[in-house]
Structure 1
Amino acid sequence: MPYHATAQRPPWHTLPGAVRSALSTRLGAPVVAAETAGAGFTRGFAAVLRTADGGSAFVKAASRAEQPHLVDWYAREAAILSRLPAGLPAPRLRWTLYEADWYALCLEPVHGRLPRLPWDPAELADTLAGYADLAAALADPPDDLVALGLPRLADLARDDILWWDEVAAGREPAPPLPDPLRGRIADLAALESRLPGYAEATTGLTHGDLRADNVLIDATGTAWFCDWTWLCHGPAWFDLANLLITGYAAGLDADTLFAAHPTVADAPDDALDVTLAALSGYHLTAAASVPPTASTHLPAHQRWTGEQALGWLARRQGWT
């Protein structure tokens, strides 16, 4: 999956003049260059802006009239970033701006790149170590972050992630499946059904959308974790499994990497299988109904992710 080129974003010069002027004023100097972010699956503006005085910033922006959901997502991310514990490898919020019915948030730029895929083992090791520290810091989150009323993974699972039961009941069409797995829908539904109960018992927070394209590797090898819109109350091992799907696809020993990670210390024995069942059903069904506001690359990402998650689970279960 070419995650460096999945986004379909408006270029800087297409933003309304009033918005460009307001952003330049807030940045303190005219914008002389804009490097559009190639990763991601929304159609919102996102770019590193460079100014005439040598400064730089990462800015996201969206129109309330045309992309109200993105405005809500960006505002949520801004609120989260302003309350994250200090010292985490996450972009820091500088400011937000509302101008001409556009909302923008400005972040400290991370001078890095997406991880190499297939994963370089050293980069993956650094990413997993960074995520262990991140998860530890969020296991007992600060009160002002909790006060935002963040969603619970258990509720998100019941409302939007668990789809195999819908397929089993005939309320959702079955996605294309390999012959050996067509008779396993009931097993998949049974596995994914355990996720809400496992997630309900968690008091800490987890990123909620930890994928390779939400990680940046800087010149020192440090992994930075981006796109914080979906922070939620839930177990960190859920995000770990999501991240390691790309490791499994690369032929790495993802089972051992998962089992050895600190976030799995208190996880149920079947946590990985339960998560893979849930993620495979979510992505394979979602690939058939992508909203028009998303990148046209999103269905391919979801199909690929669902297939890899299901393949990993099938191997672990001995279904193939």
Structure 2
Amino acid sequence: MAHMTLTAPPAGGVRTPWEHLPVHVRGAVANVLGAPVIDAATQRGGFSPGVAARIRLADGRRAFVKAVSAEANPDSPDMHRTEARNAAALPETIAAPRLLGTYDDGTWVALVYEDIVGHQPHVPWREDEFHRVLDAVNDLAHALSPSPVEAPTVAQRHAEAFRGWEQLIAAGDTHSVDPWARRRLPELAELAAPWADFAAGDTLAHGDLRADNMLLTDDDRVVFVDWPHASLAAPWFDLLVMLPCVRAQGGPDPDEVFTSHPLGRDADPRGVTSVLAALAGFFVQQARRPAPPGLPTVRAFQYAQGVAALEWLRKRLRKSRRKQR
């Protein structure tokens, strides 16, 4: 597998140790599980701030806990609430951890999941693990088509976020934008404008597939975690959103992967380019914003994804122009 340089920093939110959780929250988790917690190990990786810990109970069982308050990040409690609703609604046959229970006192939100024994894909990506994930993404899309749960459409979820090029034009400040993109802002905005029509569908998309949102198990499963961004979309939407991140983490050429993958090869090429343009605009615009509380590396991560998405977009536009000649 041909690799590019790894450009994305490690995904990392500011973790709160289990021991620093308020006593009443730790007690509530124990009540959800019906046994005292005797040991906890903070887990690294991923962009959610707050607590992310594997815990061991007095009766020998294990679980995984995510907990956050608005103090860590003002948006995170609502994201945890959305994730809880999505996780609770997913059928047990889906490759996702089972939600065992929740706690929400209006300030602290805690989610308690079954503990999945596995590891995140290695970064830079390894060929065997990458192909395993590609197969699992295909299986996930088929298992979630049509969506077995209610969710917002992809247009509803990303209506504002995917207007990145328009927002850059309106702001008039493009000093840090890639020169190729800066010269083509109106063209890119026009290209991205109909993205929602092309991305529409009845598949439940995870919406944020990255190496740190996957666990590879010893029995060859791929388990997809963290579901706050789920939406109804085209079956190929998850694959498209994932590939710039894969590229930024040392993976292969995204266009070659997408066009040869079962989910991507039959997709409308014009639609794929439009959605990719919107995604690239999102990453470029987001990377220029100040880092949100508790997420110090997220902007550099989005910048690397934006570079990879623009590289992919340029390649698709060059191929399209050659075909038109």
**What TM-score do you get using the length of structure 1 for normalisation?**
0.88
Structure 2 residue 107 is matched with structure 1 residue 108:
no
Q: How far apart are 1:291 and its partner, in Å?
A: 5.2
Preserved CA contact (<8 Å) 2:147 2:232: no
User: How far has the Cα of 1:141 moved from its partner?
Assistant: 2.0
Contact 1:118 1:246 in 2 (8 A): no
Where do 1:128-147 residues align within 5 Å? 128-142=134-148, 145-146=149-150
Does the CA-based 8 Å contact 1:175-1:285 persist in structure 2? no
Number of paired residues? 311
Distance 1:100 1:294 in 2: 20
| Seq. identity, % | 35
Name the residue aligned to 2:152. 151
Which amino acid in the other structure matches residue 177 of structure 2?
L
Name the CA shift for 1:256/1:288 in 2 (closer, same or farther; >3 Å): closer
- The answer on whether the counterparts of 2:68 and 2:110 sit within 8 Å (CA) in structure 1 is yes
Q: Structure 2: which amino acid aligns with 1:135?
A: A
1:184 aligned partner: 184
Matched, 1:221 2:227: no
Counterparts in 2 of 1:192 and 1:25: CA distance versus 1, 3 Å: same
Q: Which amino acid aligns with 1:221?
A: D
Task: Give the direction of change, closer, same or farther, for the CA distance of 1:25–1:156 in structure 2 (3 Å limit).
Answer: closer
Preserved CA contact (<8 Å) 1:19 1:100:
no
Residue in 2 that maps onto 1:162: 163
Cα gap change, 1:218 to 1:251, in 2 (>3 Å)? closer
Q: How does 1:298-317 map to 2 (within 5 A)?
A: 298-317=298-317
The counterpart of 2:21, out of the listed 15, 19, 24, is: 15
2-structure distance, mates of 1:101, 1:241: 35
Give the secondary structure class of the aligned counterpart of 1:196.
Answer: helix
What is the identity, as a one-letter code, of the residue corresponding to 2:163? L
Which structure's relative contact order is higher, taking Cα pairs within 8 Å and 6+ residues apart? 2
Q: Report the Cα distance in structure 2 between the residues aligned to 1:64 and 1:179, rounded to whole angstroms.
A: 38
Aligned twin of 1:117: 123
| Corresponding position: 1:59 with 2:58 | no
Matching residue's letter, 1:281: G
Check whether the contact 1:209–1:230 (CA below 8 A) recurs between aligned residues: yes
8 Å Cα contact 1:88-1:134 kept in structure 2? yes
- Asked whether the equivalents of residues 44 and 61 of structure 1 are also in contact (C-alpha less than 8 Å), the reply is yes
For residues 127 and 241 of structure 2, the distance between their equivalents in structure 1, rounded to whole angstroms, comes to: 17
> Distance between the aligned counterparts of 2:210 and 2:157, measured in 1?
18
Partner of 1:270: 270
- What does the per-residue CA deviation read over 1:72-109, in whole Å, with 9 as the maximum and x for residues that have no partner? 22122112112212311111111112358422111111
Q: List aligned pairs for 1:199-278, cutoff 5 A.
A: 199-200=199-200, 202-249=201-248, 250=250, 252-264=252-264, 266-278=266-278
Offset from partner CA, 1:85-142 (integer Å, 9 cap, x none) = 2311111111112358422111111111111122111111111111111111111122
Structure 2 portions without partners, runs of 5+? 1-7, 320-325
Counterpart selection for 2:88 from 78, 82, 86: 82
In the TM superposition, residue 213 of structure 1 has moved relative to its aligned partner by 1.7
Q: After TM superposition, give the deviation of residue 280 of structure 1 in Å.
A: 1.7
* Structure 2 CA distance for partners of 1:166 and 1:81, relative to 1, 3 Å: same
Residue of structure 1 in register with 2:322 after alignment: none
Aligned to 2:281: 281
CA-to-aligned-CA distance 1:26-70 (integer Å, 9 cap, x gap): 333332322222122232222111223322111111236765532
Q: CA separation in 1, counterparts of 2:271 and 2:29? A: 45
Structure 1, unmatched stretches of 5+, are none
Query: What is the identity, as a one-letter code, of the residue corresponding to 1:271?
Result: G
* Separation (CA, whole Å) in 2 of partners of 1:280 and 1:11: 35
The 3-state SS of whatever aligns with 1:229 is: coil
Does the residue aligned with 1:115 lie in a helix, a strand or coil? coil
Q: Which amino acid aligns with 2:162?
A: I
Q: Separation in 1 of the partners of 2:222 and 2:115?
A: 14
Cα distance in 2 between the residues matched to 1:55 and 1:255: 44
Equivalent residue, structure 1, for 2:3: none
Q: Aligned partners of 2:264, 2:303: CA distance in 1, in Å?
A: 27
Instruction: State the AA in 2 paired with 1:153.
Output: V
**Aligned to 1:59, what secondary structure does the other structure show?**
strand
Q: Give the AA of the match of 1:57.
A: A
Q: Which moved more, 1:80-89 or 1:21-30?
A: 21-30
CA distance in 2, matches of 1:16, 1:48: 17
The answer on 1:46 being equivalent to 2:45 is no
Task: Check 1:53–1:239 CA distance in 2 against 1; reply closer, same or farther (3 A cut).
Answer: same
SS of corresponding position for 1:159: coil
Change (3 A) 1:181 1:283: closer
Determine if the alignment matches structure 1 residue 197 to structure 2 residue 197. Answer: yes
Residue 164 of structure 1 deviates from its aligned partner by: 0.6
Structure-1 separation of matches of 2:314 and 2:265: 24
Question: 2:42, 2:243 → 1: CA distance?
Answer: 27
